Structure 1
């Protein structure tokens, strides 16, 4: 079975997202994925994909939610809990993979999803008054088919390449009100400035 998002798509909700809002969500996800998945000194390229590989090696997905009165966003980061995946996340965390327990590996994968969605949550907080994110959940890949029941008005599959190991992530966004906003992303310098303490 060759599938990108799972089962037959559900109908989109009656409340819509503007094309500008969809582009903004895409921009925020791509920025967050590139930042969260790239080890120090490396840079990944993120682009929109049409479908997963014919025989995907990713058996699990780290799933997190960002919710607000205006919308609900679910991001699923497809992950490989194999030797290659362990090597990548060990590099990402600057540790020796041989010294990592399986639980430490799983925890690092979940934390990567947490960092990715946390980056998005911070950016979305610039545009929406109340936004909050869930803790990460590690699910079987097949469980993602049930996310179609959300009736997402915007769905995307992203591929992250250039890191020695490709990654995929699926986005679902449902709007509860007509949604239109324009989001840019901070540069690394701006993010660093935002985290500095100013002394008086």
Structure 2
């Protein structure tokens, strides 16, 4: 069972991560609103970046929906002087976003592991139900009224989950590498 406090906390943590890591410039505006079922209906050609955070008590999937064919999305995430491929850059940005979620959750759950990002077709979204999640929520993410992404949080609990996260305002950081 995942308490209402825990669901709210996870959502606030996700919002912080999205606003701090999916935006490329400090002045960018990121809006996040609830989306329809699984968030994919408004992005029929979407692909999914799937990241997983796992612990003893739960497995959390963070699924980011993107249209690889959308030129505005490419231009936003790939700067003109970059020679890197869009997918390479976007996967790293998604990984940084998930890393913020992971770091926040570590305050409440020790020993978490995080997967590397992988890409699936949006046709896979209905299969999230097979995981029997206790928390499944989708969002439409808009950056600067021009870039449209989707996001889904899918959380499966193996034990009761109840916590209240103290989420600070979005911090200005430049993507430091953490060494273990």
* Common fold by TM > 0.5: yes
Shift of 1:144: 2.2
**Paired position in structure 2 for 1:71:** 58
Shift of 1:176: 0.7
**Paired position in structure 2 for 1:169:** 151
Is this contact kept in 2: 1:34–1:160, CA < 8 A? no
Summarize the alignment of residues 7-46 of structure 1 with structure 2, pairs less than 5 Å apart. 16-40=1-25, 41-46=27-32
- Are residues 123 and 179 of structure 1, via their aligned partners in 2, closer, same or farther at CA, if it must alter by over 3 Å? same
Aligned residues: 170
- Higher gyration radius (CA): 1
**Paired position in structure 2 for 1:130:** 111
State how far apart, in whole Å, the 1-side matches of 2:109 and 2:7 are: 15
Runs of 4+ in structure 1 displaced over 4 angstroms?
none
2:16 partner SS? helix
Q: CA offsets per residue over residues 4-30 of structure 1, 9 Å max, x none?
A: xxxxxxxxxxxx100001101111111
**Paired position in structure 2 for 1:87:** 75
Shift of 1:186: 2.8
Shift of 1:141: 0.8
Unaligned runs of 5+ residues in structure 1 are 1-15, 196-200
State how far apart, in whole Å, the 2-side matches of 1:142 and 1:53 are: 9
CA RMSD of aligned residues (A): 2.0
Normalising by structure 2, we get a TM-score of: 0.86
Greater share of strand: 2
Normalising by structure 1, we get a TM-score of: 0.78
Shift of 1:184: 2.4
The 10-residue stretch of structure 1 (57-66 or 71-80) with the greater mean CA deviation from structure 2: 57-66
State how far apart, in whole Å, the 2-side matches of 1:154 and 1:53 are: 17
Is this contact kept in 2: 1:17–1:153, CA < 8 A? yes
State how far apart, in whole Å, the 1-side matches of 2:11 and 2:108 are: 15
